[in-house]
Structure 1
Amino acid sequence: MTDPQVALLMLGIFISLVFLGFPIAFTLMALGIGFGYYAYFDASRMWRAFNRLGEEADGWTSASTWVEGFFNNRIFDLFINQTYTVMSNEVLTAIPLFLFMGYIVERANIVDRLFTTLNIASKNIPGSMGVAALVTCALFATATGIVGAVVTLMGLLALPAMLKSRYDHAFASGIICAGGTLGILIPPSIMLIVYAASSGVSIVRLYAAALLPGLTLVGLYLVYIIGRAILQPHVAPRPAPGEVPDVPGGKLFLMLLTSFFPLAVLILAVLGSILFGLATPTEAASIGALGGMVLAVLYRAMTFERLRESVYLTVRTTAMVCWLFVGSYTFSAVFSYLGGEQVIADFVGSLDLTPFQFLILAQIIIFLLGWPLEWSEIIIIFVPIFLPLLRIFDIDPLFFGVLVALNLQTSFLTPPMAMSAYYLKGIAPAQVRLTQIFAGSLPYVGMVFVCMALMYLFPQIVFALPEFVYGAR
């Protein structure tokens, strides 16, 4: 077999093992080291190690000589260097801080107040409780970036309230599932940090580029909820008299001041300090983590047990992402060295695609990968395969990254592996069926595609803010 054929075999084995359920990070590392040993094998180097000590009478010394000869391969140097590169990556250091901020905010007991206040404030809007649930999801998801936590917490809080108000089961479930995923798109997003680290795109410009598409998607979701409530009133009945209390304007403002504004100010402080160059993403994440702790203290939700749990979850998630990076870097380095990337580039080039056709093909592949894989695995493992091809088609990696971030919303909403649906089903009342949750989520997949089409037709949705703040590249 030629080296490019070995590279394709390596990729095929990896995909097969992933579908069989093997741990992805360690599968990447094992295949990278295994095939890398073949790729970097140098017989003369190994035998030099064997001959360096000469013929030894001592059996232990002879055994150690064989071990030294076996490990005298550059793949082990590459693996160590890639591990160090990941651990010293300044962009990735923001991940544990943003995660810690999210876990602390999740435990600050702010979401129930926020949902109640927004429900009262929007009671005259069609589908008011759905609107309140989506806005709460969007704000909470943006602050935490943890899809499972948002869907679970809102499922426990908002779903029973909507069902009690006679909302259609599928309609109510879809709102929570779709709203819970927004945190991986709207800055400060951990997914965008991971993409920036993989692609070399400035995280600051990426945050600026993703903000308007994220708000556009929220707007499309709201239009769908309100429009559906108007056209089909039975799916979102208006509140019965007395169901939502009448609150004087002054008291409502005070409720907003103690629920909506603290979380909004925390998000704006973190995001604003990054976008306007007042702090690096890591420094802003530190501010956010401290602000989350202050909120927890002010809401009397800070306990040692919650702090310990937040630290543990932060360390566990960070370790998963970092080992994925180590495995992916090792795998991709060997894959490229064997000529795999060139084979893919030559194949795509031979298809004679236009830039638009390439974007469609790439997004279809990423959409399909979202069925069996999580966003972290897609961004770290598969997106780097597309990055070298962007130069061929003259596509800005900033634009491509925002498209991918939008596309990955669907990975949580499309069966068979719609994780948002499974998160919600795990805590939903028994009468809410999984098929209803799937049905309620699918219209939001359509909204994602509409938003992606708007981005392509009007690319200034992506480029306007970074060009206004930082100037054209």
Structure 2
Amino acid sequence: MPYEMIAALMFGSMLMMMLTGQRMFGVIGFVAVVSAIFLWGDRGGHDLAFAQTIKLMNWFPLLTLPMFIFMGYVLSESRLADDLYRMFHVWFGRVPGGLAIGTIMLMVLISAMNGLSVAGMAIGATIALPELLKRAYDKRMVTGVIQAGASLGILVPPSVVMVLYAMIARQPVGQLWLAGILPGLMLASLFMTYIWLRCRFNPALGPAISEDDLAQVSRGEKYRLLLAGLLPLGIFAVMMVPFVMGYTRLVESSVIGALAALAASIAKGRMTWAVLEVCTKRTLAISCMFLWIILAALAFGAVFDGLRAVDFVRALFMENLGLGRWEILILMQLSFIIMGTFLDDTAMLVIVAPLYVPIVRMLEFDLIWYGVLYTITCQIAYMTPPFGYNLFLMRAMAPKDVTLMDIYRSIIPFVGVMILGLALVMIFPQIALWLPDLVFNR
């Protein structure tokens, strides 16, 4: 049987098994090992899985994964984000759409704590959404704001998705995280600019806070909230500054971040045994899930390397279709958006990265830059109907009067803003590459 046909059967089998509702790592790993046994015999299949396990265990930066996840859960479960949102409410309430703008800032900081989109969605839906609706913000506006802001969790460091990309593409995690900072801040700025302009021309969408409400907050209370709200930002600075300055390595910085978050929650009197138990159990669950997914992805990629499926795809794009390097890149990004309507980011990366990463290398594009493009495209896919991941998370957490159609319509302008941001990073690669070039002198 031709190797191209075997690769197609692997993809088809994997997609069919996904429809049965089996766990992602089980589906991918099963298809990889069975394919290896079929191609190279029992010994080849067993050696494949064992070799990828050893490779995974030898990847030292992977230790950052449980540290950053634990830090995020400590900050969210100890409710330190409540003070942060209260600070935004008091300090930005006079601005048209100020509370929505503050919500985007909250999401950026939550992203810097956790690295997962779902954490931002959970905090935004439980803290920000009720407050925004209570203050007569338009329901379509606020659901779009929370979904767009939460999507920054996979771009702003410490992004867990970028850890997975780094493992598959064999790129330094630290450089990828630094590459995501400026694009993440740029997207957040574009979101805030859009919100301000919409509410400036239509104040009913995001009314400013009343003077009576502001009068109830004393100046001393404002500064107390400012200090309390900046605590998470201080934790992020304590973690990242030594790493950027070269005093610590990435793993050491992740430990500093986790310990700083734990110390802050204890100092605030919000760390109990029950909270610690929840944080550790959820950290273990998420970390194990990602480890199994990475292991399955490595096994799947190893089979594809053996099949030389990359050469087949490259020949299809460059020789049979006669496409240029930029046309191929745009086509790959479009495929991510389409897949994102029914798959999550890790599934997309595991399925396609073994094919696309070598092609990007052949086309002589920077793999750090491409990692940022992939992540932004995943953000768009998260919010693209009909099956965008964030759409259903919002429907599950929003009040009953917010319909699924409201949620679909709410994300249209924000998807447009994100496409603009993706285009800017594609046209001006230094938006992503300037900071890692500066720090690492690549």
| TM-score > 0.5, shorter chain as reference | yes
Instruction: Pick which of 211-220 and 292-301 moved more.
Output: 292-301
Structure 1 residue 147 displacement after superposition: 2.2
- Residue equivalent to 1:59: none
Alignment TM-score, normalising by the size of structure 2: 0.95
Structure 1 residue 439 displacement after superposition: 1.4
Instruction: Identify if the C-alpha distance between structure 1 residues 336 and 468 changes in structure 2 by more than 3 Å, giving closer, same or farther.
Output: closer
Q: Please tell me whether residue 407 in structure 1 is matched to residue 377 in structure 2.
A: yes
Structure 1 residue 20 displacement after superposition: 4.1
Q: How does 1:304-319 map to 2 (within 5 A)?
A: 304-319=273-288
Deviations 1:105-140 (A, max 9, x none): 111211121111111111221111111211112211
- Return the match for 2:119 from 136, 141, 149: 149
Q: How does 1:413-432 map to 2 (within 5 A)?
A: 413-432=383-402
Instruction: Identify if the C-alpha distance between structure 1 residues 273 and 220 changes in structure 2 by more than 3 Å, giving closer, same or farther.
Output: same
2:380, 2:419 within 8 Å by CA — same for their partners in 1? no
- Residue equivalent to 1:292: 261
Q: Please tell me whether residue 223 in structure 1 is matched to residue 193 in structure 2.
A: yes
Q: Structure 2: how far apart are the matches of 1:3 and 1:343?
A: 9
Q: Structure 1: how far apart are the matches of 2:244 and 2:349?
A: 23
Q: Structure 2: how far apart are the matches of 1:246 and 1:382?
A: 55
Q: Structure 2: how far apart are the matches of 1:386 and 1:459?
A: 19
Q: Please tell me whether residue 207 in structure 1 is matched to residue 177 in structure 2.
A: yes
Alignment TM-score, normalising by the size of structure 1: 0.89
Structure 1 residue 230 displacement after superposition: 0.8
Q: Structure 1: how far apart are the matches of 2:413 and 2:264?
A: 35
2:36, 2:45 within 8 Å by CA — same for their partners in 1? yes
Q: How does 1:193-342 map to 2 (within 5 A)?
A: 193-245=163-215, 247-259=217-229, 261-342=230-311
1:187, 1:271 within 8 Å by CA — same for their partners in 2? no
Instruction: Identify if the C-alpha distance between structure 1 residues 80 and 190 changes in structure 2 by more than 3 Å, giving closer, same or farther.
Output: same
2:309, 2:355 within 8 Å by CA — same for their partners in 1? no
Q: Structure 2: how far apart are the matches of 1:246 and 1:325?
A: 52
SS at match of 1:373: coil
- Residue equivalent to 1:68: none
- Return the match for 1:434 from 398, 404, 408: 404
For the pair shown, which has the larger CA radius of gyration, 1 or 2? 1
Q: Please tell me whether residue 443 in structure 1 is matched to residue 413 in structure 2.
A: yes
2:137, 2:206 within 8 Å by CA — same for their partners in 1? yes
Q: Structure 2: how far apart are the matches of 1:270 and 1:382?
A: 33
Deviations 1:314-335 (A, max 9, x none): 1111111111122121122123
- Return the match for 1:83 from 50, 53, 61: 53
Structure 1 residue 184 displacement after superposition: 0.8
Q: Structure 2: how far apart are the matches of 1:417 and 1:275?
A: 38
**In the alignment, residue 369 of structure 1 is paired with which amino acid?**
M
SS at match of 1:395: coil
Structure 1 residue 266 displacement after superposition: 0.9
- Residue equivalent to 1:58: none
Q: Structure 1: how far apart are the matches of 2:397 and 2:45?
A: 46
Structure 1 residue 203 displacement after superposition: 1.7
- Residue equivalent to 1:29: 29
Q: Percent identity?
A: 27
> How many residues align structurally?
441
Structure 1 residue 250 displacement after superposition: 4.7
Structure 1 residue 415 displacement after superposition: 1.9
- Residue equivalent to 2:143: 173
Higher helix proportion, which one?
A: 2
Instruction: Pick which of 120-129 and 410-419 moved more.
Output: 410-419
Instruction: Identify if the C-alpha distance between structure 1 residues 381 and 284 changes in structure 2 by more than 3 Å, giving closer, same or farther.
Output: farther
Q: Structure 1: how far apart are the matches of 2:296 and 2:279?
A: 26
1:142, 1:187 within 8 Å by CA — same for their partners in 2? yes
Instruction: Identify if the C-alpha distance between structure 1 residues 367 and 274 changes in structure 2 by more than 3 Å, giving closer, same or farther.
Output: farther
Deviations 1:135-154 (A, max 9, x none): 11221122122322321222
Instruction: Pick which of 281-290 and 265-274 moved more.
Output: 265-274
